Homo-oligomer: A and B are copies of this chain.
Amino acid sequence: MSMQAHPLSPLLAPRSVALVGASEKSIWTILILRNFKDFGYQGALHAVNRTGVDTFGVKGYRSCRDIGAPVDVAFIFVPIDAVPDALADAAAAGIRYATILTSGYAEVGEEGRRRQDALVAQAEALGVTLWGPNSLGYNNVEAGIPVSVIPVVKPFLPPSIAILSQSGATAAELAEYAHGQNIGTSFVAATGNEAQVSLAEIIDYLVDHESTRAIAVFAETIRNPAAFVRAAERARTKAKPIVVLKIGRSQLATQVAQAHTGSLVGDDAVFDAVCDRLGVIRVASTEDLINTAGLLAATGRLSADGLGFLSISGGACTLVADAAEAHGVRLPPNDPGTVAALRGVLSDLGSTLNPLDVTGAAMRDPDLFGRVIPLAAGAPGIGLLGVGIAVPTAEGQSLPPALTAIGRAAAAIETPSVVVSTCGKSLNDYARQSIAEHRLPHVMTGIDAFLRAAGNAIRWSARVDETGVAPTLVQDKLDQPPPLDTEQAVLTFLEGRGVPVVPQRLARSAGEAMRHAGDIGGPLALKIVSPDIAHKTEVGGVRLNVQAAQAGAVFEAIMADVIRARPGARLEGVSIAPMRGGGGLELLIGVRRDPTWGPVIAVGFGGVLVEVLADLAIAPLPVTRTQAAGLLRGLRGARLLDGFRGTAPADIDRLAQVIVDIGDAALSLGGGLAELEVNPLRVAGAEIEALDGLIVWRKET
């Protein structure tokens, strides 16, 4: 797909812009025109205001209709009461896109939300697509087109990453941070209230944006989940990384966001699972957002998951070793061949470990870098090489010959490499000059920042070409639910969908109970079967460890207890199943419907782990067997699967298949399902059985 073909091209890369509300007295006008000048905008520009006067040399009109030439975007920043007229005027002039800076809409509460709804209705009626409102706009750096008041940090750096932010102030601060890390921006946008165009559509546009090599997103909410999933999938197939900082990990943040933009923030753990599925990298800080995008933009996909590191500072090497472990980065030990080669090159001062302390010797003999870097980069399993040295922001911080040697060696190896300073800092003119002069590879500041970003980049690289299965998302169709309203019915349904369940029979009389008990043999579990009784134990509806010979009497006792406790409840009988003993694991497999992302499956170990530690792994449905196995391996208590205190190791393959089948069974019930739970699923080696099941339907049905 070429850029021009994208439906949002006229909005995001306009060749003609009308500034609606332009005035020499308006700070907005001043900031907007400064941007057009700074970017060297080559397209057409028109000033529209009540009087039709020129504005700072831009030809003025009283109306968009007076312009008399095609206009791609009306950039509207008139007072809120004048917006509807401005929009109508733009539409009448044939303008199909409006970027609305004016605020006072959904972000200010109920009254504002009504105004916004009315604006959207007007735009839809007029056939105009809205960006904003309450947005600072966007700088399409690649195209040299700023439709924004987002300030530009100079000098321009070669474009590399896109920055999208729902918060305007944050967009500007992220762009400034990127600049300080010597990361150029290709596109910077503050999306504001996203009344129509949301992050998802812009991401989709950026997938084909030439100079955007990675997309960094700061989000409070994902307004169009289906479009987000589609855009992320398209980015993944093109190996264009998306990095997301989404707030909402804390309850408080969701409250603040709601007050801030009126946006609802979904279940955070579910969003984590969705990102994992989509190959979207999720981070927790602004710095990690930009550093990860910047690193991947510089290196592209890494071909191996090991990090090599070398430094003239032993301190840096120890810090890297600790930070690598903390951030899940593997530093593969050097193989014997590399060790031998390093021994040949290094004086007896250095070790041959990875990370490699080349010691101050490299300062006296900078050529050492030239000899060591190819060896460290060429060691088996190294996908990224870090070289620790002070990146100078002022004279005297590093010896130039060492930098020259590093730049030369880095250019000669195939492994992507990064020069890393120990602490974070902003790279200034001096640093940029030094980077250019010594032809340094990508530069990062701060060992912790480097290892965080490297971990993200490595994990993304390893998984980007996995065959994806998109989340089911919300199914709006509420099929008539089948009446799966007893444990027995749920287990029978699951069995029909290929899930192994404990054998059980329905007894409707004491005699039938005796016959079933005799067939099964004791000890047995007897439970009341009634669509009206959710908590069977509380009403005396459960007896465990029943001997077969007692089954008839116990049947009578259960019926009597339940009738006494819950007179009038519909009773279908008593289910009889063999007791399952110890010597196995008990898992909980639950499916529930997330209001944003649709059905998700949760897997955990029963008992202390799930109830005390909330040790659950979740994924959007459907899941593949590999993904189900990944969920199991991701549990904190995963070691239990390998056998514990004499328990046989769980048959992971088989167990993963059961999880897949439970998920598929839940999906087969359609959009009316609120919850399906198998608890416990008993696992003893390859013996796997659902012992109990529950289904809850959505209230709306």
Which residues of A are at the interface with B, using a C-beta cutoff of 8 A? 103, 107-109, 151, 153, 165-170, 172-174, 176-177, 180, 218, 220, 247-250, 252-253, 255-257, 259-261, 284-287, 290, 312-319, 321-326, 331, 348-349, 351, 353, 355, 357, 360, 390, 393-394, 396-397, 421-426, 428, 446-448, 607-609, 611-613, 636-637, 639-640, 644
State whether A252 touches B390 (Cβ < 8 A). no
A535 smallest CB distance to B (angstroms): 16
- CB neighbours (8 Å) of A165 from chain B are 315
Identify A315's interface contact among B169, B325, B424, B639, CB under 8 A: B169
Bound form: Cα–Cα A636–B613 in Å: 7
- CB neighbours (8 Å) of A426 from chain B are 180, 393, 425-426, 428
State whether B421 touches A357 (Cβ < 8 A). no
A606 smallest CB distance to B (angstroms): 11
* A323 touching B285 in the complex, CB below 8 Å, given contacts A260-B351, A360-B103: yes
State whether A259 touches B351 (Cβ < 8 A). yes
* A357 touching B640 in the complex, CB below 8 Å, given contacts A170-B315, A286-B447, A325-B249: no
State whether B169 touches A390 (Cβ < 8 A). yes
- CB neighbours (8 Å) of A423 from chain B are 173-174, 176-177, 286-287, 290
Bound form: Cα–Cα A649–B110 in Å: 47
Number of copies: 2
* A285 touching B448 in the complex, CB below 8 Å, given contacts A252-B324, A260-B357, A321-B253: yes
Identify A321's interface contact among B256, B393, B640, CB under 8 A: B256
Identify A109's interface contact among B260, B348, B608, CB under 8 A: B348
Identify A319's interface contact among B168, B247, B348, CB under 8 A: B247
Identify A255's interface contact among B153, B218, B220, B353, CB under 8 A: B353
State whether B321 touches A250 (Cβ < 8 A). yes
- CB neighbours (8 Å) of A103 from chain B are 360
Bound form: Cα–Cα A284–B449 in Å: 12
Which chain B residue shows the least CB distance to A153?
A: B394
Which chain B residue shows the least CB distance to A104?
A: B349
Bound form: Cα–Cα A172–B389 in Å: 12
Q: Top 9 nearest A-B pairs by Cβ distance? A: A167-B315, A260-B314, A259-B351, A177-B423, A170-B315, A169-B313, A253-B321, A250-B325, A285-B448
- CB neighbours (8 Å) of A255 from chain B are 321, 353
State whether B355 touches A256 (Cβ < 8 A). yes
A612 smallest CB distance to B (angstroms): 5
Bound form: Cα–Cα A255–B447 in Å: 18
Bound form: Cα–Cα A172–B177 in Å: 24
Which chain B residue shows the least CB distance to A613?
A: B636
Bound form: Cα–Cα A529–B287 in Å: 62
Identify A260's interface contact among B218, B285, B318, B607, CB under 8 A: B318
A389 smallest CB distance to B (angstroms): 9
State whether B170 touches A425 (Cβ < 8 A). no
A272 smallest CB distance to B (angstroms): 13
- CB neighbours (8 Å) of A290 from chain B are 423
Bound form: Cα–Cα A422–B165 in Å: 13
- CB neighbours (8 Å) of A248 from chain B are 318, 322
- CB neighbours (8 Å) of A324 from chain B are 250, 252
- CB neighbours (8 Å) of A314 from chain B are 107, 167, 256-257, 259-261
A145 smallest CB distance to B (angstroms): 21
State whether B355 touches A322 (Cβ < 8 A). no
Identify A425's interface contact among B176, B317, B326, CB under 8 A: B176
Q: A169-B390, A259-B314, A608-B609 are in contact. List 17 more A-B contacts (CB 8 A).
A: A166-B315, A167-B318, A170-B313, A173-B421, A176-B423, A249-B325, A253-B318, A253-B325, A256-B317, A256-B318, A260-B314, A260-B315, A260-B317, A287-B448, A608-B644, A611-B644, A613-B637
- CB neighbours (8 Å) of A349 from chain B are 108
* A446 touching B287 in the complex, CB below 8 Å, given contacts A169-B313, A249-B326, A256-B351: yes
Bound form: Cα–Cα A445–B390 in Å: 21
Bound form: Cα–Cα A217–B67 in Å: 67
- CB neighbours (8 Å) of A640 from chain B are 608, 612
Bound form: Cα–Cα A107–B103 in Å: 63
* 22 CB < 8 A contacts A-B: A151-B396, A170-B319, A177-B422, A177-B424, A177-B425, A218-B315, A247-B321, A247-B322, A252-B321, A252-B324, A253-B319, A256-B317, A256-B355, A257-B318, A260-B314, A260-B315, A287-B423, A426-B428, A607-B608, A608-B608, A608-B609, A612-B639
